[in-house]
Structure 1
Amino acid sequence: MSGEERAHDARDGLYDRLRAYEGKPAAIAGRGKDPVNLPMIRHWCEAMGDAHPAYRGPDAVAPPTMLQAWTMGGLSGHQDRSEAYGELLGLLDGAGYTSVVATDCEQEYLRPLRPGDEITFDAVVESVSPRKTTKLGTGHFVTTRMDVRAGGELAGTHRFRILKYAPAARPAKPAEAAKPAEAVERPRRPRPVVNRDNAGFWEGVAAHRLLIQRCAACGTLRFPWLPGCNDCGAGEWDTVEAGGEGTVHSYVVMHHPPFPAFDPPYAVGLIELAEGVRMISNVVGVPYDKVRIGMPVRLEFQRVDEELELPVFRAVEDGPAAGPGEGER
């Protein structure tokens, strides 16, 4: 927290009023709308591409990351939100922090959830941050902690953090607008997050090789890269190099929101590789409104700036006709 922000909080007393809500309930005696059930587990696993056998059959458990899913109220919502939490958000709105964005969450799993478990939960305002200035604007981070129970037994905790903020004013750019197009510096694309689990993939990209993980125990191919096998749980693996052939399994056309380094509209495809795994990347070589499900594509590597090269998929012009598109955003 900067000295200016600390002085601002001291002047208006807002932060003291916000902190008074720490420890107060955010949700009271919430109840899951449905018990843990196999159809929802199946839908989740299909969406995530997770075929682990632990999530199927008579002894199935729910994927741990579904913890929050069983507490969601859907379109009709829940009636469990406390007055205190509504007052806190109203206080922030009244101070001009009328915009909100979810920033991150943390989960802790204490016991598996199984079909038939009845879910209950309570939530508390765990913390409200001092006034912070971000690229989005200035505001306060609000963290809630939800305790999720199955049959009255604590099954896990879910911390959810939002930023309530006043949007930053967009600076005018008259000088930049006056420059010739070639003189305006283009913003750089976001950098990929490279860690110990996926570093080998990006090393392959640098060498113009698209590498797919292969489980050393059962031989199952997997993408994106993961530390263990979804099918058998083994941690050992090697790689195979993709041949580069694929088809558009699904796609969206991105119109909004605009990002400085991108030129919407553009097509983002879910590409099914000939090897059987799927990956997300841009479809290039045809106008965005000509991309179709079933369209054959071929891998190529596109340099987007002096430091970054990415795998993309170019439409194969003489491929067979395909059905109507999946949708636009």
Structure 2
Amino acid sequence: MYERLRAYEGQAAANSGVGKDPVNEPMIRHWCEAMGDTSSAYPATAPATMLQVWTMGGLSGNAGRTGVYDELFALLEDAGYTSIVATDCEQEYVRPLRPGDRVTFDATIESVSPRKTTKLGTGYFVTTRMDVRVDGEPVGNHRFRILKYAPAAKRPGKGTGTGAGAGAAQAPRPRPVVNRDNAGFWEGVADGKLLIQRCDACATPRFPWLPGCGSCGSPRWTPFEASGAGTVFSYVVMHHPPFPAFDPPYAVGLIELAEGVRMISNVTGVPYDKVRIGMPVELEFLRVDAELTLPVFRATGVSDEGASDSPGDAAVPGKGA
């Protein structure tokens, strides 16, 4: 099987693809509003992390697709690897994109891993590299990696509908990806602290952890401890698809901290269908198992009835809560 998959390495997934729309101010504005980015640099230029946006084909796809990607996926699905999850994306930037630029791109299946066993199941990691150009000149590239897998068998158990209930007993909670950019954040969690960054040049706070400031570009920053107070800025209730260690339905909140940054986490202390925008929350640390502790946010000013902590999970109040 692996040799058949490796035959796709180096094959073109798209040749001379053309972005459906030129770089434009409305899309830049929508992106910045969604990200809470108020930098004066936009929309004169597009945020660098929008690189992939201008290559997306939507439901109807892009001209230039070769069908190779579909063939690879069909081979995997016929072999039982029917589920998919995006794992990470690496981007490199050559120059900013500006309104009016029309992007073109080539995509190549760069690598297919040997079969791997993960917490989600057994499958193959597929990495695609896309080179993006304007007027024939490189503006950036990105590698997008997915896992095509066969879901692990779910052990018997009765769920609680909170996302941290029986599913946590059936399979270990997925571990966060720790790298050189966010290692300090997870070290803080291990010490019972929620650390965010503050730019040394312009004093702008930021989260998630990044190597440079999105407002002024300075690479100098200092971590500081958040108070732990916040509100639910937005949320979704997850019903499908189910994943091991998570027991739908459960709420995932976008929490706006008192320091002005936002982070995604679980909302505890209230049933999933009682989470509301504007609800005040406070930090606590959820001990998922002997090796993993996560920062979550408990709704304040509500009764404990229907609290979403699962049996066996120890919640430790945040130091600043």
TM-score after normalising by structure 2: 0.74
Match of 1:49 in 2: 36
Distance 1:267 1:117, change over 3 A: same
Q: CA RMSD in A?
A: 3.6
**Distance of 1:73 and 1:268 partners within structure 2:** 28
Alignment of structure 1 residues 13-162 onto 2, 5 Å: 14=4, 19=7, 23-56=10-43, 60-82=44-66, 92=75, 96=79, 99=82, 101=84, 102-127=86-111, 132-135=115-118, 142-162=126-146
- What are structure 1's unaligned runs of at least 5 residues? 320-329
From 290, 293, 296, the equivalent of 2:277 is 293
Distance 1:221 1:124, change over 3 A: closer
Per-residue CA deviations over 1:210-260 (Å, capped at 9, x if unaligned) read 333222222222222222222222233334433332221111122333333
- CA positional deviation for 1:38: 1.8
Query: Is the 2:200–2:221 Cα contact (8 Å) retained in structure 1?
Result: yes
**Distance of 2:107 and 2:285 partners within structure 1:** 47
Distance 1:89 1:233, change over 3 A: closer
Query: Is the 2:18–2:63 Cα contact (8 Å) retained in structure 1?
Result: no
Query: Is the 2:270–2:302 Cα contact (8 Å) retained in structure 1?
Result: no
- CA positional deviation for 1:80: 2.2
Q: Which amino acid aligns with 1:189?
A: R
Identity over aligned pairs, percent: 69
Match of 1:189 in 2: 173
SS in 2 for 1:66: helix
Distance 1:33 1:138, change over 3 A: same
- CA positional deviation for 1:150: 0.5
**Distance of 2:96 and 2:212 partners within structure 1:** 19
* Structure label with greater radius of gyration: 1
- What are structure 2's unaligned runs of at least 5 residues? 159-165, 304-321
**Distance of 2:285 and 2:111 partners within structure 1:** 45
Query: Is the 2:236–2:253 Cα contact (8 Å) retained in structure 1?
Result: yes
Match of 2:247 in 1: 263
**Distance of 1:262 and 1:85 partners within structure 2:** 30
**Distance of 1:68 and 1:251 partners within structure 2:** 25
Match of 2:216 in 1: 232
- CA positional deviation for 1:35: 0.9
Asked if residue 280 in structure 1 is aligned to residue 264 in structure 2, the reply is yes
From 164, 170, 188, the equivalent of 2:153 is 170
SS in 1 for 2:41: helix
Figure out how many residues of one structure are paired with residues of the other and give that number: 294
Alignment of structure 1 residues 300-319 onto 2, 5 Å: 300-317=284-301
Alignment of structure 1 residues 186-225 onto 2, 5 Å: 187-225=171-209
Query: Is the 2:231–2:255 Cα contact (8 Å) retained in structure 1?
Result: yes
TM-score after normalising by structure 1: 0.73
- CA positional deviation for 1:114: 1.6
SS in 2 for 1:55: coil
**Distance of 1:199 and 1:126 partners within structure 2:** 28
> Where is the helix percentage greater, Structure 1 or Structure 2?
1
- CA positional deviation for 1:140: 5.7
Distance 1:241 1:76, change over 3 A: same
**Distance of 2:29 and 2:52 partners within structure 1:** 16
Distance 1:123 1:243, change over 3 A: closer
Distance 1:98 1:64, change over 3 A: same
SS in 2 for 1:123: strand
Query: Is the 1:51–1:230 Cα contact (8 Å) retained in structure 2?
Result: no
Q: Which amino acid aligns with 1:170?
A: A
**Distance of 1:40 and 1:201 partners within structure 2:** 31
Distance 1:257 1:219, change over 3 A: same
Q: Which amino acid aligns with 1:155?
A: V
Q: Which amino acid aligns with 2:288?
A: V
Query: Is the 1:97–1:164 Cα contact (8 Å) retained in structure 2?
Result: no
**Distance of 2:186 and 2:111 partners within structure 1:** 38
- CA positional deviation for 1:137: 6.3
Query: Is the 2:253–2:267 Cα contact (8 Å) retained in structure 1?
Result: yes
**Distance of 1:201 and 1:84 partners within structure 2:** 40
